[in-house]
A and B are shown apart, each in its own frame.
Chain A
Amino acid sequence: MSAVKRGYLRPIDFKQGRVEMSHGSGGRAMAQLIDELFLEAFDNDWLRQLNDQACFAVTTGRMVIATDSHVVAPLFFPGGDIGCLSVHGTVNDVAMSGARPLYLSASFILEEGFPLSDLQRIVISMAEASREAGVPIVTGDTKVVEQGKADGVFITTTGVGVVPDGVNISGERARPGDRVLVSGTLGDHGVAILSFRENLAFETSIRSDTAALHRLVARMLEAVPDLHCLRDPTRGGLATTLNEFARQSSVGIRLHEKAIPVKREVAAACELLGLDPLYVANEGKLVAICARQDTDRLLEAMRSHPLGADAAVVGEVVEDPHHFVQLQTAFGGWRIVDWLSGEQLPRIC
């Protein structure tokens, strides 16, 4: 039940209103914001208790916890916004352990002056993403900082989940002979964000691939319970994820450029900007490594799910004392796919 008596309050003006310092001060304004915005949107039994924490029964087995902060600019981009991204990002981090995600927490840092209409749009998008994923947001926090001390809104989400028995996914389990699979086209999210940045407006139909992948993971585990490695190639893209695997497992990885799915528009945008799609961020894709004999079954399972329709086998794990990720180019030569140095910066000519 709400602690605030509705009859005495003028409803929040979500059309014209802006975030004020009082929205984070712990007083009546904050309670009203929680009531009329967060509770309204995220509505569930745990939140309705209005406690500072959510209490739930512990199941048997192994639990996982993951946290992720979201500071994306622009806040709204083709195919999504910071709201659904903050749900998908953490659901995916939990799911990449093979776990079934159960609950989320959400913490907001709001900049004074941020339009309440935008905040509402973001919160509704989060609520939809959480409902669609079947993972409720059960506790949260809101802080407001003075104008200029944040960039509109920052959202940190934390997720917990439970790993089914018999599943043991870890970045250190890649073995020579294993195969590397990706769940779909690479670079969509990064290019969608870039295309929308104010100083780089080029017309494009590319949309972010932001999506919750836990159901795809569940289907993969049904087909191949002994998945070796699983990760979502977000910042730093496929190249970074594979370098992480190579280092953790003390192996090398060979990729085949021709096998790597990249949308034509994404390839063209990267070409124009001097970027390499292997390093561009994804928010709805995963990389999996499995034993060679499980490859076909895994690929089939992935392709049977809408989020894995374009899945492909892109390479294999090899012995390599240098732990290099190497790529056979479509041209025929070989090159190293190294860790990214600093930010990926566009080339001049």
Chain B
Amino acid sequence: MRYVDEFRDGELARRIAGRIETEARTGRDYNLMEFCGGHTHAISRYGIADLLPPNIRMIHGPGCPVCVLPIGRIDNAIELAAQHKVTLCTYADTMRVPASDRSSLLKARARGADIRMIYSAADALRLALEQPEREVVFFAIGFETTTPPTALVIQEAAKLALPNFSVFCNHVLTPAAISSILESPQVRDIGAVPIHGFVGPAHVSCVIGSQPYEYFAEEYQRPVVIAGFEPLDVMQAIWMLVRQLNDGRAQVENEFTRAVTRDGNVRAKQLVADVFELRRSFEWRGLGEVPYSALRINARYARFDAEQRYGIGYRSVPDNKACECGAILRGAKQPRDCKLFGTVCTPENPMGSCMVSSEGACAAWYTYGRFRDASRAEVSQITTADST
């Protein structure tokens, strides 16, 4: 497949791995956080950890849009569908996110709520046009990547003066989340979780550009390398981070030059600015309340705001006490440190959000990496046996 296979070339990967191996200094650790779920997925799916020396550790960050969605917002979405009887349109990932009382959108649908899985915001708008007798609500989630399409359908609905369409907005902002992690006491003061550098977002950066990360690099003295979601992108970014750390630099570098510029997508940013405004605060699953970290629909488009239209009130719901999603999202713990991981919390029956999407740190480890050490040892034994 053109434009894809080139970025998954095993031979090139081994060459980059060789350079990383040579340049990474023994006697020091390189703890690198990949912010995005897309990177987490690539690392797990292609077995990138197998190609890295043991002193390079990848910490899975909070950049999985489904994972950071708090229980209370899922409850709100279920309320919209079940009590206000709207047709709720949602991206597939959110269907299985656990809500209060062991519910989820999937379970609400089984009980009769009208919940539709869609692939794009435009599908929700089309549904509203096709069913003028039904109230259609788009359950909008995601980082800066999915925000412009939501803005676009709201503008479109305004142009058409669609009376039966609204948006339940849960869009969140990447820079605020990175700040929150860097400001958390475990990372900043205690130094219990040294994060030495960041693999910066791919698709998010296409929209916002590389400029917003310059502040972190400078203020917190952490290098950031923006990288694409293909495995070679990730390998290359790790190599660039190792070099920066060896040189004592803390700069924003861009590995994903084929898509990301310093200013990002100016038109998309204008679109977002036209429709949305900052929320003073927003709850993130795992990170808690994060100031100025999310968007809501502004007054001009208020009639398309489902929260206002249906008087949706937010009620925060705590996670299961034993759930370590918060610590895992901040990089303070690994999935296997959680008592629930792989016991009561599995992809079939996720207790915490990190287990829901394949981009979540726990699900990725469970699905692709579980018992990695044991199975790798066996594989090498067998390989030896086979070749004799």
Tell me the nearest residue of chain B to A270, going by C-beta: B1
Tell me the nearest residue of chain B to A264, going by C-beta: B1
- Fill in one digit per residue for A189-221: 1 if any B CB lies within 8 Å of its CB, else 0: 000000000011000000000000000000000
Residues B378 and A336 in contact, CB atoms below 8 Å apart: no
**A46–B33 alpha-carbon span in the complex (Å):** 69
CB distance from B267 to the nearest CB of A (A): 19
Residues A341 and B8 in contact, CB atoms below 8 Å apart: no
Residues A333 and B346 in contact, CB atoms below 8 Å apart: no
Tell me whether chain A's interface is mostly helix, strand or loop, or mixed: loop
Q: Which of B90-98, B150-158, B213-221, B268-276 contacts A (4 or more CB under 8 A)?
A: B90-98
CB distance from B48 to the nearest CB of A (A): 6
Chain A residues within an 8 Å CB radius of B254: none
In the complex with contacts A200-B119, A335-B44, A348-B142 CB distance below 8 A: yes
- Fill in one digit per residue for B1-32: 1 if any A CB lies within 8 Å of its CB, else 0: 10010001110011001000000000000000
- Fill in one digit per residue for A315-335: 1 if any B CB lies within 8 Å of its CB, else 0: 000111010101011111111
Residues A320 and B38 in contact, CB atoms below 8 Å apart: no
Residues A252 and B378 in contact, CB atoms below 8 Å apart: yes
**A199–B13 alpha-carbon span in the complex (Å):** 38
**A301–B8 alpha-carbon span in the complex (Å):** 33
Task: Choose among B368, B371, B376 the residue with the greatest number of A CB atoms under 10 Å from its CB.
Answer: B368
In the complex with contacts A331-B231, A335-B44, A335-B45, A322-B51 CB distance below 8 A: no
> When the two chains form the complex, which single residue of B17, B48, B346 contacts A341, counting CB atoms closer than 8 Å?
B346
Whether, in the assembled complex, A254 has its beta carbon less than 8 Å from a beta carbon of chain B, the answer is yes
Residues B50 and A332 in contact, CB atoms below 8 Å apart: yes
- Fill in one digit per residue for B137-158: 1 if any A CB lies within 8 Å of its CB, else 0: 0000111011000000000000
Size band of the interface chain B makes with A: 35 or more
Residues B143 and A341 in contact, CB atoms below 8 Å apart: no
Chain A residues within an 8 Å CB radius of B96: 342, 345
**A335–B370 alpha-carbon span in the complex (Å):** 9
CB distance from B140 to the nearest CB of A (A): 11
Chain A residues within an 8 Å CB radius of B371: 322, 324, 336
> When the two chains form the complex, which single residue of B41, B48, B66 contacts A333, counting CB atoms closer than 8 Å?
B48
Chain B residues within an 8 Å CB radius of A264: 1
Whether, in the assembled complex, B359 has its beta carbon less than 8 Å from a beta carbon of chain A, the answer is yes
In the complex with contacts A330-B8, A342-B347, A336-B368 CB distance below 8 A: yes
> When the two chains form the complex, which single residue of A334, A335, A345, A349 contacts B145, counting CB atoms closer than 8 Å?
A349
> When the two chains form the complex, which single residue of A329, A335, A345 contacts B369, counting CB atoms closer than 8 Å?
A335
**A144–B1 alpha-carbon span in the complex (Å):** 47
Residues B13 and A331 in contact, CB atoms below 8 Å apart: yes
Residues A338 and B47 in contact, CB atoms below 8 Å apart: no
Give the number of residues in A that approach B within 8 Å (Cβ atoms). Answer: 32
> When the two chains form the complex, which single residue of A267, A271, A324, A333 contacts B375, counting CB atoms closer than 8 Å?
A324
Whether, in the assembled complex, B123 has its beta carbon less than 8 Å from a beta carbon of chain A, the answer is yes
In the complex with contacts A254-B379, A331-B231, A335-B47, A347-B10 CB distance below 8 A: no
Residues B66 and A332 in contact, CB atoms below 8 Å apart: no
Tell me the nearest residue of chain A to B371, going by C-beta: A322
Residues A345 and B92 in contact, CB atoms below 8 Å apart: yes
- Fill in one digit per residue for B109-126: 1 if any A CB lies within 8 Å of its CB, else 0: 000000001110001000
**A200–B203 alpha-carbon span in the complex (Å):** 22
CB distance from A280 to the nearest CB of B (A): 15
Whether, in the assembled complex, A17 has its beta carbon less than 8 Å from a beta carbon of chain B, the answer is no
- Fill in one digit per residue for B342-361: 1 if any A CB lies within 8 Å of its CB, else 0: 00001110000000011100
Chain A residues within an 8 Å CB radius of B368: 335-336, 338
CB distance from B308 to the nearest CB of A (A): 25
Chain B residues within an 8 Å CB radius of A326: 375, 379
Tell me the nearest residue of chain A to B90, going by C-beta: A348
Chain B residues within an 8 Å CB radius of A306: none
Whether, in the assembled complex, B46 has its beta carbon less than 8 Å from a beta carbon of chain A, the answer is yes
In the complex with contacts A254-B379, A342-B96, A346-B92, A332-B143 CB distance below 8 A: no
CB distance from B128 to the nearest CB of A (A): 14
- Give 20 A-B pairs besides A254-B382, A271-B4 with Cβ atoms closer than 8 angstroms: A199-B118, A199-B123, A267-B4, A273-B119, A320-B375, A331-B46, A332-B50, A332-B51, A333-B48, A334-B379, A335-B47, A338-B367, A341-B347, A342-B96, A345-B95, A345-B117, A347-B41, A348-B93, A348-B141, A349-B38
Instruction: Name B residues whose Cβ lies closer than 8 Å to a Cβ of A.
Output: 1, 4, 8-10, 13-14, 17, 37-38, 41, 44-51, 65-66, 91-93, 95-96, 106, 117-119, 123, 141-143, 145-146, 203, 231, 346-348, 357-359, 363, 366-372, 374-376, 378-379, 382
Cβ contacts A to B, 6 pairs, < 8 Å? A329-B46, A329-B47, A331-B48, A333-B46, A341-B348, A345-B117
